[in-house]
A = this chain, B = another copy of it.
Amino acid sequence: MAKKVFEIEMKVRDYECDTQGIVNNANYLHYTEVTRHEFMESLGVSFYECHEAGIDPVVARADLHYKTSLKGSDLFLSSLMVEKKGAKLIFHQTIRRKTDNAVCCNAHIEVAILVNGKLSRGDYFDEKMKDYL
């Protein structure tokens, strides 16, 4: 059974490119974060309100494979699938250039959920994410 995919369209900002004329590798982590936060927001969860309530998703591992480089003003599609693994949420994320669907980056992101600064069982978002798990 296919997993449900969440996807947004984004566009490279020129300041995200470095001297090599391509998007600096660290910005792909930003793109994947924006995508996760938009995903959460689509489920009615605000990252900011979570933080105010003492619930902080934190990245425990980020494994990024870089394929094709994005350049200034490129449009791209950023998608994710999510699964539970113990107390962690595992996000499988892909960034593809819009013009030709070339994969730019595949990312495996593990997120732990802190509640009041302590590691939680991670079930805080289960009900909200049920269509995707």
Contacts and interface: CB of A to CB of B under 8 A. Distances in A.
Contacts of A17: 18-19
Interface in A41-79: 41, 46-48, 51, 56, 58-66, 69, 71-73
A14 B29 contact: no
A92 interface: no
B58 A69 contact: yes
Chain A binding surface SS class: mixed
Contacts of A26: 15, 26-27, 29-30, 33
A34 interface: yes
Contacts of A48: 14, 19, 21, 71-73
Interface residues of A, number: 37
A101 interface: no
Interface of A: 13-15, 17-22, 24-27, 29-30, 33-34, 37, 41, 46-48, 51, 56, 58-66, 69, 71-73
